[in-house]
Amino acid sequence: MDWTALTLSIRLGLLTVVLLLPLAFVLARWLAFGRFRGRGFIEALVALPLILPPTVLGFYLLVAFGRASPLGRAFEAVLGHPLVFSFEGLLLASLLVNLPFAVQPIQNALAAIPPNLRDAARCCGLSPLAAIRRVELPLALPGIATAAVLTFAHTLGEFGVVLMVGGSIPGETRTIAIAIYDRVQAFDEASAGLMALVLLTLSLAALGVTNTLARRVAHRH
Amino acid sequence: MDGSGELRVRLRQAAPFPMSVEFSAPHGSVTALFGPSGSGKSTVLRAIAGLHRTDDALVACGGQHWTDTAAGAFLPAHRRPVGFVFQDYALFPHLTVREQLALALGHRPPGERAARITTLLALARLEGLAARKPAALSGGEQQRVALARALARDPAVLLLDEPFAAVDWALRESLRHELAALQRQVSLTVVMVTHDFDDVAKLASHLVVIERGSVSAAGTVADLTSRNAIPGLVGTREPAVALDAHVVAQDPARRLTHLAAGALRLEVPAVPGPVGTTVRIQIGAREVILANRRPEGLSLHNILDARILGVEPGGHDALRLVHLAVGDARLLSLVTADAVRTLGLARGAPVLALVKAVAVEAFA
């Protein structure tokens, strides 16, 4: 059992959720309510990680993060070490890969709010920000919870992209999914089985939590 | 500046559908925007609330310009002292009745809010329901919550979008009574969108008829109904005069109420309320009989001295609609063309208008 890999995965998952949800809410709200040309294109771009093979995605990220790219150079200039094969690089990749898992449930939840409710919020004297806080956020909560759980679970399980941009550096980029693969390669089926079981349990627990949350919120209405 | 006073609205747009509407609603009036669905009535309401913007618009209330495209002024919706009752009520599903009201009280100091909520709950007869969420309320209760929430804003103008469309007939009538009573308690400028003329006849003092994006008639309800001059209504609804009367005396022994509207005096079946109570009455043109001699021995309470203002076709070859003046009030009478001939009914002629007490629809 690779405890370092497990805690790294959990740290990566939590950080991804915390950093991605606010971004995803802003993006989802823009896509749900905004009226602008090229919305279909933005939506397709957000959904891309769902269908793109992880290795393809990983390859492009590797190029974009590389020491030759402007982003990679800027990062190295500020922090003193390369972006690729680092935890920060992994986190950045994780944010991008999880975009559809975070944006789509929130966007659907926001789009399901009847337009009259948002008008009513304004007519109750709520400023646009207050209307988001007191009407849109509470009503979109099931979608936000779903986004959080899906993002976390998906981060724990992501394999291809992590391998491409992170490699398998213990304590830095070796997540539990990579560790399982390593153990299988080393014919250590006992360790691989145990870690697979941990992932399975966490995934089941995550789904249980979302379902309960969604039910509780639905019940409240 | 309390924001009270006349509401002036001018609205022009070319798209998404052409519209050119201009009217004003006197302070304290109930102005109905009446017309077929799709005529643009709701758009006018949304423009007043600041939820709809056009290139050429003026919305002014008591001297404050909420929208004035000429001056480049636009007060955002949440800063307008406007209460809006949406057609489907638009209650927040995640909030209790009390929380819905509290949400709309942000303009009051925190210390005042609890007392204000208590007042509003009593006003809308919601006392036992403060902890309920909308899903646990009946249609009529939801409508009252929507109304209380709109009033919580302390609005200068109350906007109602088809307020009774979502409830059944029986409930509609009782909600109309409640709204009429409420309007008497808290004197507000009300603008109501409806396609049901019963709402107009029972609640509105002023009427703006909107057809295909423009105003086809405007005036007081009493004037427009008494002249049978409401486009879209002629031929679809029996002509009837709707006007405001007040109780001049109660006659409990005979179970009658004496009403007066200017020179028009009527005895009607008992209407509750002390002397002075305002009562909206409707008299259908079919219910008014004309005579040139004072009849005797009839079960009739109201024999009114009238003068004929004009005779027009009655929507059918054999019928005529006679316009009558009873002092400064007006009535309509639907009679046969034959009666017009045999009685010699002509413009300027004196005539007796006979109105059965039970034919006067009183709404209080």
Question: What ipTM does the predicted assembly reach?
Answer: 0.84
CATH number at residue A26: 1.10.3720.10
Domain count, chain A: 1
Q: CB–CB of A116 and B76 under 8 A?
A: no
Instruction: Please tell me the predicted confidence (pLDDT) of residue A56.
Output: 93
Report the gap between the CA of B33 and the closest CA in chain A (Å): 20
Q: CB–CB of A221 and B82 under 8 A?
A: no
Q: Which domain holds residue A128?
A: 3-32+52-220
Q: CB–CB of B153 and A125 under 8 A?
A: yes
Contact A56, A49 (CB under 8 A): no
* Cα-Cα end-to-end distance for chain A: 44
Tell me how crowded residue B186 is: count the other CB atoms within 10 A of its CB.
11
Contact A158, A149 (CB under 8 A): no
pLDDT of residue A220 exceeding 60: no
pLDDT of residue A221 exceeding 70: no
Instruction: Please tell me the predicted confidence (pLDDT) of residue B17.
Output: 87
Q: Does A130 touch chain B (CB under 8 A)?
A: yes
Report the gap between the CA of B174 and the closest CA in chain A (Å): 25
Q: Which tokens in the block code for residue A206?
A: 């995550």
Q: CB–CB of B78 and A127 under 8 A?
A: yes
Q: CB–CB of B49 and A221 under 8 A?
A: no
Q: Which residues contact B357 (CB under 8 A, 6 or more apart)?
A: B256, B266, B267, B268, B269, B300, B301, B302
CA atoms within 13 Å, Cβ hemisphere of B18? 4
B7-235 fold: Rossmann fold (3.40.50)
> Of B94, B104, B133, which is closest to A124 when you measure between CB atoms?
B104
Instruction: Please tell me the predicted confidence (pLDDT) of residue B31.
Output: 96
Residue A40 lies in a domain: no
The structural domains of chain B, with segments of one domain joined by +, span 7-235, 242-363
If DSSP states are collapsed to H, E and C, what string results for A135-156?
Answer: HHHHHHHHHHHHHHHHHHHHHH
Instruction: Please tell me the predicted confidence (pLDDT) of residue B23.
Output: 96
Contact B103, B177 (CB under 8 A): no
Q: Does A189 touch chain B (CB under 8 A)?
A: no
φ/ψ of B218, rounded to 5, equals: -155, 145
Q: Which CATH number fits domain B242-363: 2.40.50.100, 2.60.200.20, 2.60.40.640, 2.60.120.10?
A: 2.40.50.100
A vs B, Cβ pairs < 8 A, gives 70
Name the DSSP class of B79. G
Contacts B149 to A, Cβ<8 Å: 120, 124
Q: Is the N-terminal amide bond of A170 cis, ω within 30° of 0?
A: no
Q: Does A119 touch chain B (CB under 8 A)?
A: yes
Mean pLDDT, rounded, for A39-56: 92
Name the DSSP class of A42. H
Query: What are the C-alpha distances in Å from B198 to residues B34, B210, B361?
Result: 11, 16, 12
Q: Give which of B262, B263, B258, B252 is closest to B275, Cα–Cα.
A: B258
Cα angle A124-A130-A133, degrees, rounded to a multiple of 5 = 120
Query: What are the C-alpha distances in Å from A177 to residues A168, B30, B133, B169, B300?
Result: 10, 69, 45, 64, 95
Query: What SS3 state is found at B360?
Result: strand
Q: Does A139 touch chain B (CB under 8 A)?
A: yes
Q: Which tokens in the block code for residue A139?
A: 């009503």
Mean pLDDT, rounded, for A161-165: 89
Instruction: Please tell me the predicted confidence (pLDDT) of residue B3.
Output: 43
Residue A160 lies in a domain: yes
* A-chain residue closest to B146, CA distance: A120
> Of B49, B93, B103, which is closest to A134 when you measure between CB atoms?
B103
CA dist A90 and B234 (Å) reads: 74
Q: CB–CB of B104 and A125 under 8 A?
A: yes
Q: Which residues contact B12 (CB under 8 A, 6 or more apart)?
A: B19, B20, B21, B54, B55, B56, B57
> Of A125, A127, A135, which is closest to B92 when you measure between CB atoms?
A135
φ/ψ of A127, rounded to 5, equals: -70, 165
Instruction: Please tell me the predicted confidence (pLDDT) of residue B290.
Output: 95
Instruction: Please tell me the predicted confidence (pLDDT) of residue B188.
Output: 85
Contacts A139 to B, Cβ<8 Å: 92-94
Residue A131 parent element (H or E): helix A128-131
Site of tokens 């099931």: A142
| Greater model confidence, A136 or B361 | A136
Q: Which residues contact A77 (CB under 8 A, 6 or more apart)?
A: none
Contacts B90 to A, Cβ<8 Å: 114, 116-117, 119-120
Q: Does A80 touch chain B (CB under 8 A)?
A: no
Instruction: Please tell me the predicted confidence (pLDDT) of residue A99.
Output: 96
Contacts A117 to B, Cβ<8 Å: 90, 92
H helices present in B3-133, as ranges: 41-49, 97-103, 110-123
φ/ψ of A85, rounded to 5, equals: 60, 30
Average confidence score pLDDT of chain A: 91
Report the gap between the CA of B278 and the closest CA in chain A (Å): 31
Phi-psi domain of B4 (left: phi exceeds 0; alpha: psi -120 through 50; beta: other): beta
Q: CB–CB of A114 and B78 under 8 A?
A: no
Query: What are the C-alpha distances in Å from A219 to residues A31, A37, B139, B218?
Result: 27, 37, 20, 48
Query: What are the C-alpha distances in Å from A102 to residues A19, A131, A142?
Result: 11, 22, 12
Residue-wise pLDDT tens for chain B (364 aa)? 344 579 999 999 998 889 999 999 999 899 999 988 888 899 999 999 999 999 999 999 988 999 999 999 999 999 999 999 999 999 999 999 999 999 999 999 999 999 999 999 998 889 999 999 999 999 889 999 999 999 999 999 999 999 888 777 777 888 888 888 877 777 789 999 998 898 999 889 999 999 999 999 999 999 999 988 888 777 778 899 999 999 999 999 999 999 999 889 999 999 988 999 889 999 999 999 999 999 888 888 899 999 999 999 877 788 999 999 999 899 999 999 999 999 999 999 999 999 999 889 888 7
Interface of B with A (CB under 8 A): 46, 49-51, 76-79, 82-84, 86, 88, 90-94, 103-104, 106-107, 133, 135, 149-150, 152-153
Contacts A124 to B, Cβ<8 Å: 78, 103-104, 106, 149, 152-153
Q: How confident is the model at residue A215 (pLDDT cuts 50, 70, 90)?
A: confident
Q: CB–CB of A120 and B90 under 8 A?
A: yes
> For B124-223, where are the E strands, in sequence order?
157-161, 189-194, 206-211, 214-220
Residue A41 lies in a domain: no
Residue A64 lies in a domain: yes
User: How large is the C-alpha radius of gyration of chain A?
Assistant: 20
